Structure 1
């Protein structure tokens, strides 16, 4: 889903929640949950939008209405070579869409 489409769907009340997913290397991606599906947010060129931080995500999302917003971290063991896949859920921490300042 492109960022513009996210704005339209969010203002129409169709978005259930947003997740800011932390990836290896200090990269974050946005995931939209809508109609029982999880969709990545893409830029205007159709490539997955990469963000640098929680504050960067808040800047990008400042035009959205308030939505449930979570910072999601995968288990570190899931990213380690040679480790058996774990059957546990990633860490999901609720965060504010607005800066705390």
Structure 2
């Protein structure tokens, strides 16, 4: 999904959530959850858009209607130390496009 499609979907209140996925190397990838699946935000060359911060995402989407957003980070500590039982869950931290964390 490109930025234009994201704006159209946001205007039509079709976005359930935006996940800002924290990746190794200090960058983020935005994924947009709709009724029919999860879509990565793409740049002008149709490659995943690499973002450097929540602030950059806010600047990029400053004219888009507000929708729920969540920062997703893998819990590396649990992976390194191990867990007694169950899968390792991602940390999901809600944030706003209009106010700082």
Give the TM-score, by structure 1 length: 0.85
Q: CA 1:23/1:78 → structure 2, altered by over 3 Å: closer, same or farther? A: farther
- How large is the RMSD of aligned CA atoms in angstroms? 2.0
Q: Which residue of 2 is the match for residue 93 of structure 1?
A: 93
Q: Unaligned stretches of 5+ in structure 1?
A: none
> In structure 2, what is the equivalent of residue 51 of structure 1?
51
Contact 1:55 1:99 in 2 (8 A): no
* 1:66, distance to aligned residue in structure 2 (A): 1.0
Alignment of 1:57-68 (within 5 A): 57-68=57-68
The answer for the alignment partner of 1:70 in structure 2 is: 70
Deviation, structure 1 residue 99 = 3.9
How many pairs were matched up? 97
- Taking structure 2 as the reference length, what is the TM-score of the superposition? 0.85
Corresponding residue for 1:17? 17
